[in-house]
Every structure is written in C-alpha cells, then in structure tokens.
Amino acid sequence: MSATSAHINEHRDDTASKLGMWLFIFTELMLFGGLFITYSVYRYSHSGAFHLAAQELDVTMGTINTVILLISSMTLAMSTTAIQKKDKRTTLILIGITLVLALVFLVNKYFEWSAKIGHGIWPGSPLLEELGRGDTLFFGLYFFMTGLHAVHIIVGMVILIVVFVFVWKDKLTFDNFQLLENGGLYWHLVDLIWIFLFPLFYLIT
C-alpha cells in the first residue's frame, strides 16, 4: 500500500465510479434490448394486428413526451457545465427544470394510460381477449415497456433529488461532482431508451 496518501479522509476514484455506472448502464441496455427483440419478433409474426393496434396510440402525445425528455436531457447535461463553472445557482435551477420536466412526462403518461384503460385496453382486459392474440401482445408489450420506462423515470427523479440536495449542501462541488455526472448518465440512458420506444410503438404502424 502506498504510504503517501496526503488526503486521509478522501477516498475517491471518479474514473472507477464512472466505469461502474457505465457497466450498470450496459446491463440496462441488455434488459431493454431483450424487450426490443421480443417486440420485433412478435411484430414480425403478427404484423397485421400490430399495424392496426399501433394506430391506436396517440402520436401527438408521444411526440410531446419525446420533446420533453430531450429538453430534460439537455438541461441536465448543462448542469454539469454549470457546476464546473462553480455556478451553484444555475446548477440547481437546471436540475430543478429537469425534475419538473420528468414530472410533466409522467403526468402525460398518466393521461395516456388512462385514455387506453378508459377504452377498455389494459393487460388481460376482456376487450383485448376479444381482439385476439396480436392486440394482446402489442398492448401487453406497450404497457410493460412504457411502464418499465416510467419506473426508470421515477428512479431517475429520486437520484436527481438526492443530487439536488447534495449540490445544495455543497457536498458536490466543481472539483467533486461525479454523482451529478453519474445521475446524468442514468437520465440520458432513460432518454436513450425512449428514443427507440417512441418510433417503435408510436410511429411505425
């Protein structure tokens, strides 16, 4: 062991921390990758039903949510610039905007799901049973994949709230902000997944 550690109470390795975050992100990519493959295979084997079912989804709502997530990714990316410029106020404002946008995304999702459920479409609903296997698969995957994505949004929000408090209390500063960076990586991953969910479910009919 090296006996030359001048900073006794500082045991941190930002690169290792980032590496760990990336490894976790890779497992997430594999998780959603598997679901995308499942979706593609069923789309291939039930193309007629998937074509009709996909037209049921609200493209406008999907587009609005895409724009919201893209903007939230930018504001959070900007916060890493702000903290490095020692601008705490701007950093907090940018994380705050990201959190508000995340909430707006979830509210939109709530209305979207409510509309579907209002039309008698939910996993295992009698209407879906009537419509047949293709529709059941499409909406089953729709609810599961957008639902799992929404769970990631909620987890991302919890992480960002923690980051917000840490910046507020000066635990994260211009020369020690790896947690903000890692939280950002997670948030951009959530954005990345949506970038593929959006065309696959809403656009391609």
Partner 1 sequence: MSDTSHHIVPYSTYGLILLLLLVLTGTSVAVTQIELTKWSTAVALLLAGTKSAFVLAIFMHLKFDQKIFRIMAVLIILLLASVIIITFLDYAFR
Task: Please give the residue ranges that form the binding site for partner 1 (CB under 8 A).
Answer: 15, 18-19, 22, 26, 29-30, 33, 36-37, 40-41, 44-45, 59, 63, 66-67, 70-71, 73-74, 76-78, 80-81, 84-85, 181, 184-185, 188-189, 191-192, 195-196, 198-199, 203-205
Query: Given the complex with partner 1, which of 125 and 200 has the nearer CB atom?
Result: 200
Query: Given the complex with partner 1, which of 164 and 194 has the nearer CB atom?
Result: 194
Three-state secondary-structure class, residue 152: helix
Q: What are residue 173's phi and psi, to 5 degrees?
A: -135, -175
Instruction: Enter the DSSP assignment of 205.
Output: -
Query: Given the complex with partner 1, which of 42 and 164 has the nearer CB atom?
Result: 42
State the minimum distance, in angstroms, from the CB of residue 187 to partner 1: 9
Count CB neighbours of 26 within 10 A: 12
Query: Given the complex with partner 1, which of 164 and 186 has the nearer CB atom?
Result: 186
State the minimum distance, in angstroms, from the CB of residue 149 to partner 1: 15
State the minimum distance, in angstroms, from the CB of residue 78 to partner 1: 5
State the minimum distance, in angstroms, from the CB of residue 195 to partner 1: 5
Three-state secondary-structure class, residue 146: helix
State the minimum distance, in angstroms, from the CB of residue 120 to partner 1: 26
Query: Given the complex with partner 1, which of 14 and 125 has the nearer CB atom?
Result: 14
How far, in Å, CA of 53 to CA of 48, rounded?
A: 9
Instruction: Enter the DSSP assignment of 199.
Output: I
Query: Given the complex with partner 1, which of 51 and 109 has the nearer CB atom?
Result: 51
How far, in Å, CA of 111 to CA of 183, rounded?
A: 27
State the minimum distance, in angstroms, from the CB of residue 133 to partner 1: 17
84-93 CB contacts, 8 Å cutoff, 24+ apart: 84/174, 84/177, 85/174, 86/173, 86/174, 88/167, 88/170, 91/167, 91/180, 92/164, 92/167, 92/168
Rounded to 5°, angle at Cα 119 from 113 and 125: 85
